[in-house]
Amino acid sequence: MNQMNKKYALLSKSEQDVSQGVDKGKRTFIGGLVGASGLAVAPGVMLYQTASAKPVEQAVSNAVRWGMLVNVNQCAEDCDDCVTACNDEHGLWPKEGSTTDSQWIRKLTVKDPSTGNAKSLPMMCQHCENPPCVDVCPTGASFKREDGIVLVNMHTCIGCRYCMMACPYKARSFVHETLENQLPDSPRGKGCVESCNMCVNKIDAGDNTTACAEACSKAGHEAITFGDLNDPESDISTQLKAHGGNQIRADLGLNTGVRYQGL
């Protein structure tokens, strides 16, 4: 039923009227029915999603495209819980002021010099649909998963750092030192390049969220929404549809998986 509804939604309004020839009353009735059944089924579906991890042998599918939406207006200037959560999740813990330690996510302050208006926002790998890092990687170690997550294959990265030169978001870090106390869920490699992996460990475990989004909710800001950009019913898609969302450096045509509201 839901599938039919999606197909139906793809038709333009005039096409719908001509091809269906249905009267408005009938359409309202069907719409109501779909809505009611959706409401009835949704909690079960949600429960099923959160409870199920993707089996290891099951390939990642492009039916979903994971993304994040950052509502800059809700991002508190003095809060960096997302950064701390990311560091804890992936075992990063950069030293303050270090130019060589990895930072997968950072808080940016963006100030308009003409008005003095300043905003605070998290910046991380934007998980582009057309990622420059993937284009330039000589060995293909930088790659994009079918579900839109941009990753580095730690087995084939030769540490040339060309991806760091190419990334327009300064989102990548090079591991400059021998690593200690690595976390089993987030393997890293000395001499390799790394960046935000959209908590692929959590996604593949069926958590369907990221450490930063979780931490932001926990802090009560709800500034980061994680979800499936391909699903028009997902929270992220409905928010984007209702209020829009900007891409940083949209002029580069990269179609980022991370979008910002309130910039």
Partner 1 sequence: MDTLRYGAIEARSPKYWALLIGLGLVAMIGVLSAHHMEVEGHVISGMNNQIVWGMPHVFAVFLIVAASGALNVASIASVFGKTEYKPLGRLSALLAIALLAGGLAVLVLDLGRPDRLIVAMTTYNFKSIFAWNILLYTGFFAIVGFYMWCMMDHAMQKFSKQAGLFAFIWRLVLTTGTGSIFGFLVARSAYDTAMLAPMFIMMSFAIGLAFYIIVMLASYQWSERPIGDLIVNRMRNLLGIFIAAVMYFVAVYHVTNLYATEHHAVEKFLLVDGGIFTQLFWYVQILLGGIVPLALIYAPQTRNCRRSLLAACALVLIGGMAHIYIIIVGGQAFPMEMFPGMEVSSSFFDGEVSAYTPSLWEILLGFGGIAITLLLVTVGVAILDFLPESLADNIVSYKK
Residues that bind partner 1 (CB under 8 A): 94, 96, 99-103, 106-113, 123, 132, 134-140, 156-162, 164-170, 172-178, 189-193, 248-249, 252
The smaller minimum CB distance to partner 1, of residues 28 and 139, is found at 139
Q: Is the Cβ–Cβ distance between 255 and 130 less than 8 Å?
A: yes
* Residue type for position 98: S
**Least spacing, CB of residue 102 vs partner 1, in Å:** 7
Those residues with Cβ within 8 angstroms of residue 48's Cβ, 6 or more apart along the chain or in another chain? none
Q: What are the distances in angstroms from CA 35 to CA 42, 45, 227?
A: 10, 15, 21
The smaller minimum CB distance to partner 1, of residues 203 and 248, is found at 248
Task: Return the axis-axis angle of helices 81-90 and 211-218, rounded to nearest 10°.
Answer: 140
SS3 198: coil
The smaller minimum CB distance to partner 1, of residues 47 and 118, is found at 118
Q: What is the C-alpha separation between 108 and 123, in angstroms, rounded?
A: 7
Burial class (CB within 10 angstroms; exposed 0-12, middle 13-18, buried 19+) of 243? exposed
The smaller minimum CB distance to partner 1, of residues 64 and 82, is found at 82
**Least spacing, CB of residue 190 vs partner 1, in Å:** 6
**Least spacing, CB of residue 152 vs partner 1, in Å:** 11
The smaller minimum CB distance to partner 1, of residues 63 and 165, is found at 165
**Least spacing, CB of residue 8 vs partner 1, in Å:** 39
* Residue type for position 215: A
The DSSP code for 73 is G
Those residues with Cβ within 8 angstroms of residue 104's Cβ, 6 or more apart along the chain or in another chain? 86, 87, 90, 92, 124, 125, 171, 173, 194, 195, 196, 197
Burial class (CB within 10 angstroms; exposed 0-12, middle 13-18, buried 19+) of 157? buried
Please, what sign has the CA dihedral across residues 146, 161, 171, 99?
positive
The smaller minimum CB distance to partner 1, of residues 71 and 237, is found at 71
The smaller minimum CB distance to partner 1, of residues 41 and 110, is found at 110
**Least spacing, CB of residue 72 vs partner 1, in Å:** 12
**Least spacing, CB of residue 186 vs partner 1, in Å:** 18
**Least spacing, CB of residue 193 vs partner 1, in Å:** 7
